[in-house]
Chains A and B, each alone.
Chain A
């Protein structure tokens, strides 16, 4: 697992209070990990803070699974 994936997973476990095992690549924040709309916004903000980037809203809306988050951050993180 990449360094980015590990950091993403850690944030998700912390913010959503879920088990590490549940945070699979395919897991959807809302359908599988119990996040509501505010949780999703908070997750994106935490990713921005952790990786020191700014994710535009229209991009943020397309990030709905763990895998999508990792892929986006691997591409954009500095």
Chain B
């Protein structure tokens, strides 16, 4: 009996050791961002240094400290979704569906030739259907206490509904769940999707994230924390990571989707390959609910862990798309971590915060910025950190922040950092696909 048990454990160990991790590639992209409602417009906005900021149109912000945000432009859900359906879906899930439609189309997934039981959806959001939640509660509070909640209140609001909606739309019946780690959510989702495929639990995973909380509760809540920039008289220049006069982040909204696929599966169906996912890391600061660790400890560990996972050296990285939210504390802590991890190489790589253009899309930031990294590999262009006016004497001036103008540079590998309230850190490394 004991012998049988020991033999089983032994075989399991051997099996695990021999288990070859699969390579995972990106075969489709979808994006709805404050710079444009598709990948091409998003990328053109990025490399041309366009600000996505605007005075808030989604609600009357006249009494709010912050009256601007990076909203989606010219976006009407009914241009993409049936009116009856869109009414039952919160804005965050609407844009998740639309971006995933783009990505599925881009990946040319032929539903007749794939096994839908092996296609998963692992999708992030920081908050979920806050607008629905807010409006339902406002309606309830207006009444005499009689509960008159809409039957779609809960299924509109819950954060996992985006993953569910995407699966229903395409008939993808593989692993399906949501990932939440505040502003690191969609990076954690990408890493989970990567893991599911590389250990053989899925052929394809639709992953990414979405966020849409430009609302009274969203802006009011972040305002109360003093997290948002209040530069109402110069909103287009408010998101200014690494500038001496940065005064908080600018809220953005958007959705990004990647189709991750087992390399062999992608090759067998002749898919276009954007790049390979090299590795990912996830750590915690274990320090404070909202403030970053002053020395960037969790950020340092997450980059080291992503490099280790990818089997890469610091010198292999050409570009870091930073979390860089334009807050006084966060920007400096992350840079400390970068100089610690990358040493001399920190001065050779390009660093940029594309949040200077998109604003901070919260739970969608990770994937939207991973897409910027992928495009930097594809096009050999580093998108800039715009709105730089005054050097911050606290920050290392030798670092190349890619200030104000895009730079041409061949990129073999890029790393994207994201950090979330709660002390969550996640980093993903993408690299050029080489057969």
Q: Report A's interface with B, CB cutoff 8 A.
A: 15-17, 38-39, 41-42, 45, 48-49, 54
Which residues does chain A contribute within 8 Å of B84, judged by CB atoms?
15-17
Contact B148 A42 (CB under 8 A): no
Which residues does chain A contribute within 8 Å of B151, judged by CB atoms?
38-39, 41-42, 45
Interface of A (DSSP majority class)? helix
Closest Cβ neighbor of B154 among chain A residues: A38
Question: Which parts of B48-87 form the interface with A (CB within 8 Å)?
Answer: 82-84, 87
Compute how far the CA of A48 lies from the CA of B82 in the bound complex, rounded to whole angstroms.
Answer: 26
Question: Which parts of B125-176 form the interface with A (CB within 8 Å)?
Answer: 146, 148, 150-152, 155
Contact B82 A17 (CB under 8 A): yes
21 chain-A/chain-B pairs, Cβ below 8 angstroms: A15-B84, A15-B87, A16-B84, A17-B82, A17-B83, A17-B84, A17-B87, A38-B151, A38-B152, A38-B155, A39-B151, A41-B151, A42-B150, A42-B151, A42-B152, A45-B148, A45-B150, A45-B151, A48-B148, A49-B148, A54-B146
Closest Cβ neighbor of B83 among chain A residues: A17
Closest Cβ neighbor of B152 among chain A residues: A38
Which 5 A/B pairs are nearest by Cβ-Cβ distance?
Answer: A17-B84, A38-B151, A41-B151, A42-B151, A17-B83
Least CB distance, A11 to chain B, in whole angstroms: 13
Compute how far the CA of A16 lies from the CA of B148 in the bound complex, rounded to whole angstroms.
Answer: 19
Compute how far the CA of A39 lies from the CA of B146 in the bound complex, rounded to whole angstroms.
Answer: 20
Give the number of chain B interface residues (Cβ < 8 Å): 10
Compute how far the CA of A38 lies from the CA of B146 in the bound complex, rounded to whole angstroms.
Answer: 19
Compute how far the CA of A17 lies from the CA of B84 in the bound complex, rounded to whole angstroms.
Answer: 5
Q: Report B's interface with A, CB cutoff 8 A.
A: 82-84, 87, 146, 148, 150-152, 155
Least CB distance, A22 to chain B, in whole angstroms: 13
Compute how far the CA of A49 lies from the CA of B148 in the bound complex, rounded to whole angstroms.
Answer: 9
Compute how far the CA of A38 lies from the CA of B155 in the bound complex, rounded to whole angstroms.
Answer: 10
Interface centre among B83, B84, B151, B152 (most CB of A within 10 A): B151
Least CB distance, A18 to chain B, in whole angstroms: 8
Compute how far the CA of A16 lies from the CA of B85 in the bound complex, rounded to whole angstroms.
Answer: 9
Which residues does chain A contribute within 8 Å of B148, judged by CB atoms?
45, 48-49
Which residues does chain A contribute within 8 Å of B82, judged by CB atoms?
17
Least CB distance, A44 to chain B, in whole angstroms: 10
Compute how far the CA of A42 lies from the CA of B146 in the bound complex, rounded to whole angstroms.
Answer: 16
Which residues does chain B contribute within 8 Å of A15, judged by CB atoms?
84, 87
Compute how far the CA of A49 lies from the CA of B152 in the bound complex, rounded to whole angstroms.
Answer: 16
Compute how far the CA of A30 lies from the CA of B166 in the bound complex, rounded to whole angstroms.
Answer: 24
Compute how far the CA of A45 lies from the CA of B140 in the bound complex, rounded to whole angstroms.
Answer: 13
Compute how far the CA of A42 lies from the CA of B150 in the bound complex, rounded to whole angstroms.
Answer: 6
Which residues does chain B contribute within 8 Å of A54, judged by CB atoms?
146
Closest Cβ neighbor of B148 among chain A residues: A45
Compute how far the CA of A42 lies from the CA of B148 in the bound complex, rounded to whole angstroms.
Answer: 10
Compute how far the CA of A38 lies from the CA of B87 in the bound complex, rounded to whole angstroms.
Answer: 13
Least CB distance, B147 to chain A, in whole angstroms: 11
Compute how far the CA of A41 lies from the CA of B148 in the bound complex, rounded to whole angstroms.
Answer: 11
Least CB distance, B79 to chain A, in whole angstroms: 16
Which residues does chain A contribute within 8 Å of B150, judged by CB atoms?
42, 45
Compute how far the CA of A37 lies from the CA of B116 in the bound complex, rounded to whole angstroms.
Answer: 28
Closest Cβ neighbor of B82 among chain A residues: A17
Least CB distance, A78 to chain B, in whole angstroms: 16
Compute how far the CA of A54 lies from the CA of B84 in the bound complex, rounded to whole angstroms.
Answer: 25
Least CB distance, B87 to chain A, in whole angstroms: 8
Compute how far the CA of A42 lies from the CA of B154 in the bound complex, rounded to whole angstroms.
Answer: 13
Closest Cβ neighbor of A49 among chain B residues: B148
Which residues does chain B contribute within 8 Å of A16, judged by CB atoms?
84
Which residues does chain B contribute within 8 Å of A49, judged by CB atoms?
148
Which residues does chain B contribute within 8 Å of A48, judged by CB atoms?
148
In addition to A15-B84, A45-B148, 19 A-B residue pairs with Cβ atoms within 8 Å of each other are A15-B87, A16-B84, A17-B82, A17-B83, A17-B84, A17-B87, A38-B151, A38-B152, A38-B155, A39-B151, A41-B151, A42-B150, A42-B151, A42-B152, A45-B150, A45-B151, A48-B148, A49-B148, A54-B146
Which residues does chain B contribute within 8 Å of A42, judged by CB atoms?
150-152
Closest Cβ neighbor of B150 among chain A residues: A42
Compute how far the CA of A3 lies from the CA of B58 in the bound complex, rounded to whole angstroms.
Answer: 35
Least CB distance, A27 to chain B, in whole angstroms: 16
Which residues does chain B contribute within 8 Å of A41, judged by CB atoms?
151
Least CB distance, B433 to chain A, in whole angstroms: 44
Compute how far the CA of A77 lies from the CA of B223 in the bound complex, rounded to whole angstroms.
Answer: 45
Closest Cβ neighbor of A44 among chain B residues: B151
Compute how far the CA of A48 lies from the CA of B143 in the bound complex, rounded to whole angstroms.
Answer: 13
Compute how far the CA of A69 lies from the CA of B159 in the bound complex, rounded to whole angstroms.
Answer: 35
Closest Cβ neighbor of B146 among chain A residues: A54
Compute how far the CA of A45 lies from the CA of B87 in the bound complex, rounded to whole angstroms.
Answer: 16
Closest Cβ neighbor of A54 among chain B residues: B146
